[in-house]
Every structure is written in structure tokens, then in C-alpha cells.
Structure 1
């Protein structure tokens, strides 16, 4: 017995139904991309969460709250992953001259190498996937998702007011 969802009904959905199906497709794609990310990260002994936190600290050292905001997850989750990265030798905490109670997460040479390798593997996967999709479709899909994110941000701000 398969866990796969049944195919959508063949009838042309209304606008609201089309949006609901788009949301469902985005979640399904996100799940598939997460699974691919986990397999890709595992090649370097990482999880996708470790990969994301390493990436968040790759350009410049960041505090755990800064990384959490950038990744859109809780500070506690990033703290747990950061501690794990430090324990494994992929990252280190350094003093923060702007806030003594919130150290900066930095990559070690081992962490930087692991990040570079897993990022290269991901880029190879992306090239294969993109080889099957017309560039204009990818560009249009990204533009639509960016517009959707703008509207969701606007709604979230309005709800907070």
C-alpha cells in the first residue's frame, strides 16, 4: 500500500481550488527537496539542519538568534544544532564584542570543507533537475513564489498589528 496522495481530480478546479492545489504541490515539493537535501548532506556526515546552520554562518559569524531568524526556525532549534556542530568540530563559538551573552558561531576549516563539498553535490543535483525543466518555467515559478511570499508577509504583518 502506497503513502502517495491520489492524483488530483481531472475536473478544472475553481480559482480557490487551484490555489489550494498549488499550496499542496509546494508542500509536496518541499518534502521531496528536504529528502534530497538529507541524502545530499549525509554524504558529508551532516543533516540538512546542520548544513543549513553551517550555511547561515558561512559568510560571516552569526549569533544563534541571527541564524534562527535567517532560517525561519526557533532559536532553541538552532542552538541545539550549533552545539552539535561545535561538538563535531565543524563550528566554534567566538566572543561577540557587541553582546557578551550571545557568542558568534564560526565555521572551522573542517566545517567549511564539509559545507563546500555538500554544496557542490547539491549544485550537481540542481543541474540535473534543471536540465529537465525549461528555464523560462523555472523563472516564472520563482517569480510567482516570490509574489506569494510578499503577500504572505503582508498578511502576517497585518495580523500582527
Structure 2
């Protein structure tokens, strides 16, 4: 069977995929180190941020959807946060079983402390990169994500 050739752009993107995976791993490791003194991990910090960024309390499934993450993984992290008193569950008036996730005061304080640590870290990380380059990168990432979402939608049965 004849293998299909990549387009020139596909070839370039394929060439940087390993670098993207390495960057993701490095960001998670560095984030873990940054917030470990707060009793957080990158995953817990990300979850607190997603909960805080939501316009209103949401069930775990919605948080997972917004993050593009697996619902079971999000549920595990949210349960850990609840056990540590950083979030609590509230009744959902629209769905009896899908409780809403709400930040506690302790969760809000932990997130704000993490963000105070994040400011100098992100400034150092972005050293030598221009705002124009960051904007271009953002556009590319957004387009790649939209393409992935479209591809996933095409895989779904009618």
C-alpha cells in the first residue's frame, strides 16, 4: 500500500511535534516545582484556574469540556481538591447527580498565591520572545485546536 505524502506544512508541523510534547512536559514539571510549596501541582493549579475562570459554578463534565480533558481525570483532581478543602460541591438545580464545583476561600487563596508566583516565572519564560511572536503562536495554536475539534466532530457517528 502506498503511503500518503505529507503536505509541506504538514511536514513542518510533524517536525515540531516532539518539541511541543517536550515543551508541555517541561511546563508541567516547572509548574509543579513552582507551586509545590503551596501544596499544589500543575494539574490542581490548572483546575483551580478553570473553576475560577468560569462565569458560574459548573459540573465536572463542563469543566472537562472547557479544558479539553477527560471527565474522569478532572473528577479525580476535583475530588482531591475537595478533600483538601479547596473546592466544595453544591447542589445543581438543573441536574440532580451532576453537582456544581465551587472554590472555597482556601481554594481562592491558593490560586491567588500561585498566580503571584506565576508572574515572575512567566516573565522569565517569555524573555527574548516578542509580543508579535506570541500573538502569532496564539493564532496558530487556536487554529490547530479548531482543526482537531473539527476532525473529532467528523469522527462522531450521525
Taking structure 2 as the reference length, the TM-score comes to 0.84
Contact 1:34–1:48, Cα closer than 8 Å, also in 2: yes
- Whether 1:103 and 2:113 are equivalent positions in the alignment is no
Indicate which of 75, 78, 82 corresponds to 1:79. Answer: 75
Pairing 1:25-64 to 2, within 5 Å after superposition: 25-58=19-52, 59=54, 60-64=56-60
Runs of 4+ in 1 over 4 A off after TM superposition: none
Indicate which of 116, 120, 144 corresponds to 1:120. Answer: 116
C-alpha deviations, 1:28-64, integer Å up to 9, x for none?
2111111122112313111122112212211432111
Let me know the Cα RMSD of the aligned residues: 1.8
In structure 2, stretches of 5+ residues that fail to align are 1-6
C-alpha deviations, 1:84-121, integer Å up to 9, x for none?
11111111111111112111111111110000111221
Taking structure 1 as the reference length, the TM-score comes to 0.82
| Number of equivalences | 148
Contact 1:52–1:71, Cα closer than 8 Å, also in 2: no
Contact 1:43–1:118, Cα closer than 8 Å, also in 2: no
